[in-house]
Amino acid sequence: MMPIKNISNCGCNKPYSKQMKTLRLILGDQLNSQHSWFQEKDQEVIYFMAEMRQETDYVAHHIQKVTAFFLAMRNFAEELKNEGHQVIYFPLDGQDNQQDLEKNIQQLVKQHSIKKFEYLLPDEYRLDQQLQTISENLSIEAGAFDTEHFFTKRDEVANFFAGKKTMTMEYFYRDMRKKYNLLMMDKKNPVGGKWNFDKSNRKKWTGKPPIPPKKDFDKDATEVVDLIENSDIKTIGRIDKKHFPWPSSRKECLDVLDYFCEKLLVHFGDYEDAMHTDEKFLFHSRLSYAMNSKMLSPKEVIETVIDYYEQHEDEIDISQVEGFVRQILGWREFMRGIYWKEMPEYSEKNQLENKNKLPNFYWTGDTRMKCMEKAINQSLDDAHAHHIQRLMVTGNFALLSMIDPDEVDNWYLGIYIDAIEWAEITNTRGMSQFADGGIVATKPYVSSGSYINKMSNYCKSCKYSVTKKTGKNACPFNSLYWNFLHKKQEHFKNNQRMGMMMNVLKKMDKDTLQSHIERAEDVIANPEKY
Ligand SMILES: Cc1cc2nc3c(=O)[nH]c(=O)nc-3n(C[C@H](O)[C@H](O)[C@H](O)COP(=O)(O)OP(=O)(O)OC[C@H]3O[C@@H](n4cnc5c(N)ncnc54)[C@H](O)[C@@H]3O)c2cc1C
Ligand code: SF4
């Protein structure tokens, strides 16, 4: 097998060699047991995996996220060993573990007289840079291989939109459907006669249909959690270490996928945007971690779901399936493509020049705003919240409060079990905070309380009144919304999609606007009061 990138620095111009003592690195989010690397056993190859402080400490991660990755990595290493591969695994407290990728690799190369270093292309810019440097610093052959996980290569989205003014996800998604022949009647026409059933995916959930219990694994993770806690790693969030719910092997991930097909797919699209005080996950798949760790591939997830749908067409509507396929084949691949197109500059984008601090209640969940209290506490309890909670509750509040996107990114990168930078930053800085000035979204995803009220029952039990526009008990989102549009009007003056709301703002009575501004400024200055 040949690398897609040969980074040899052996001082020679030899072609890439096959048979020699080789060290192959597997990162924590590269647990793809179906990869061609593992299809043959080679006694000259040593696989290397490590739990390292460089990975636990670059942001404060949720304790469940660190636990999930360590458990899954340990299982993966065990499986490789059982299949007859040679594996070196450094646990966090391993004697030889120097906690730094370069130091660990240098040490192993020396100890084992390694002649060649190979790695799978990482999905994070910082690791990509680091591995190139490591490869160049080693005085042996080095090569990088594809992870064989995504549908697209790193530059495919950029190439698809080359020369185009805007990058509309929908066009890319349609192209992907055709290219991979997914949910297609024939080469040109989509199943169901429409490419997109988004409009039917906007139901509020009011207690029916019943939501099946979430698929949990209820395992004892005490050993790993104690190790993390005793190592003084700074983590966030809560955990019940005796009842750890997340999958940590490919088999368990496949169980989550089957459960989704059998129990949840039937209403996935209908309630995709719904939120409820008593139901955290509704009909969402909770498969993002299984895919982002690469235990499952997006291709097998989509194909399994489509197969299931084709066998149950009488019970499941195309709109449920199309909505799901769009998220993975469309959004997930699109976001990764944007990441590789725009990094590293993307991580510094702050088009709206937002500078405020993230309120402390993002770390504690201690707020009177019911929607925020629910979305944040769920994130702290479960290391998960679904898309609309992330976008239209916590993200919406952060943008309306004009929080510095660095602080917002920091929170999202740490708190969610699926938070790997390529997916996190494009969703947070791009889709949610509009800090990229419109690369991902054509307009900012902001709303007053009315959207939250439309899609949830949160407002019913909130201290604030969603219908009141101003005054002490009025929903804070209402004033924040108008204040945001007022303060950022220069940025939106040429944005046609904002035209209607900017016109409403222009016509707003001066006193009403002034009371919105005063209230919003108080919320922003004293968020803990709310
Ligand atoms: C501010 C913000 C931050 C986010 N951060 C992350 C992140 O760090 N990692 C991450 O994987 N997703 C992120 N998302 C996207 C999305 O919210 C999660 O993928 C989803 O909530 C995961 O839950 P699920 O598996 O139940 O998804 P489902 O609702 O069941 O959707 C199925 C799958 O579609 C994919 N998907 C859906 N929407 C997106 C999207 N916008 N971008 C990429 N993939 C998508 C996911 O792989 C997901 O598992 C973020 C969204 C927002 C608004
Ligand atoms: S009233 Fe406002 S703050 Fe309260 S739950 Fe509704 S949207 Fe959230």
Q: How far is the CA of 381 from the CAs of 386, 415, 437, in angstroms? A: 13, 10, 33
Nearest atom of ligand 2 to the alpha carbon of 370? 5
Q: Which ligand is nearest to the CA of 373?
A: 2
In DSSP notation, 451-488 reads: HHHHH-SGGGG-SSBSS--SSTTB-HHHHHHHHHHHHT
Token couple for 346:
């993307």
Residues 365-374 pLDDT 10s: 999 999 999 9
What pLDDT is attached to residue 199? 75
d(CA 55, CA 426) in angstroms, rounded, equals 20
Among 204, 477, 478, name the best residue to mutate to test ligand 2's pocket (greatest count of ligand atoms within 8 A of Cβ): 477
d(CA 25, CA 28) in angstroms, rounded, equals 10
Q: How far is the CA of 39 from the CAs of 137, 232, 251, 292, 297, in angstroms? A: 30, 38, 18, 22, 16
In DSSP notation, 265-300 reads: HHHHTTTTT---SS-SSTT----HHHHHTTSS-HHH
* d(CA 448, ligand 2 centre) in Å: 9
What pLDDT is attached to residue 12? 47
Among 327, 386, 407, 408, name the best residue to mutate to test ligand 1's pocket (greatest count of ligand atoms within 8 A of Cβ): 327
d(CA 490, CA 502) in angstroms, rounded, equals 10
Nearest atom of ligand 1 to the alpha carbon of 285? 30
What pLDDT is attached to residue 310? 97
d(CA 69, CA 104) in angstroms, rounded, equals 19
Name which of 79, 384, 31, 65 is nearest 228 in CA terms: 65
Q: Which ligand is nearest to the CA of 330?
A: 1
Token couple for 27:
């990162």
d(CA 375, CA 460) in angstroms, rounded, equals 15
Q: What SS3 state is found at 495?
A: coil
Alpha carbons within 13 angstroms on the beta-carbon side of residue 206 total 6
What pLDDT is attached to residue 200? 72
Average pLDDT, stretch 471-481? Answer: 96
Asked whether residue 20 carries a pLDDT value surpassing 90, the answer given is no
CB-based burial of residue 491 (10 Å sphere; 0-12 exposed, 13-18 middle, 19+ buried)?
middle
Which of 32-46, 194-208, 411-425 bottoms out in mean pLDDT, i.e. has the lowest? 194-208
* d(CA 308, ligand 1 centre) in Å: 22
Residues 219-267 pLDDT 10s: 999 999 999 999 999 999 999 999 999 999 999 999 999 999 999 999 9
Helices (H), 143-192: 156-160, 169-179
Asked whether residue 10 carries a pLDDT value surpassing 70, the answer given is no
Rounded to 10°, the helix 250-259/298-311 angle is 30
What pLDDT is attached to residue 6? 62
Average pLDDT, stretch 451-457? Answer: 97
Among 149, 271, 288, name the best residue to mutate to test ligand 1's pocket (greatest count of ligand atoms within 8 A of Cβ): 288
Token couple for 365:
């969940």
More confident residue, 11 or 117: 117
d(CA 385, CA 402) in angstroms, rounded, equals 22
Q: Which ligand is nearest to the CA of 420?
A: 1
The model's pTM is 0.96
Average pLDDT, stretch 161-179? Answer: 95
What is the band of 1 on the pLDDT scale with cuts at 50, 70, 90?
A: low
d(CA 334, CA 420) in angstroms, rounded, equals 15
* d(CA 277, ligand 2 centre) in Å: 12
What pLDDT is attached to residue 100? 97
326 touches ligand 1 (CB under 6 Å): no
What is the band of 19 on the pLDDT scale with cuts at 50, 70, 90?
A: low
Token couple for 369:
């705003």
* d(CA 530, ligand 2 centre) in Å: 11
Average pLDDT, stretch 297-302? Answer: 98
d(CA 487, CA 145) in angstroms, rounded, equals 48
Sheet holding 116-120, edge to edge: 5-6, 141-145, 116-120, 22-25, 45-50, 86-90
**Residue nearest atom 53 of ligand 1, based on CA coordinates:** 391
Asked whether residue 17 carries a pLDDT value surpassing 60, the answer given is no
Judge whether 27 and 126 are in contact, CB under 8 Å.
no
What is the band of 416 on the pLDDT scale with cuts at 50, 70, 90?
A: very high
Nearest atom of ligand 1 to the alpha carbon of 428? 1
What is the band of 16 on the pLDDT scale with cuts at 50, 70, 90?
A: low
Residues 382-396 pLDDT 10s: 999 999 999 999 999
Helices (H), 41-190: 53-56, 63-82, 101-111, 125-137, 156-160, 169-179
* d(CA 84, ligand 2 centre) in Å: 56
431 touches ligand 1 (CB under 6 Å): yes
**Residue nearest atom 45 of ligand 1, based on CA coordinates:** 332
Average pLDDT, stretch 94-122? Answer: 97
Asked whether residue 28 carries a pLDDT value surpassing 60, the answer given is yes
Q: What residues does ligand 2 touch, defined as CB less than 6 Å away?
A: 369-371, 449, 452-453, 458-459, 462, 464, 466, 475-477
* d(CA 387, ligand 1 centre) in Å: 6
What is the band of 375 on the pLDDT scale with cuts at 50, 70, 90?
A: very high
Q: Which ligand is nearest to the CA of 369?
A: 2
320 touches ligand 1 (CB under 6 Å): no
> What is the pLDDT of the chain when averaged over all its residues?
95
Q: What SS3 state is found at 201?
A: coil
What pLDDT is attached to residue 198? 80
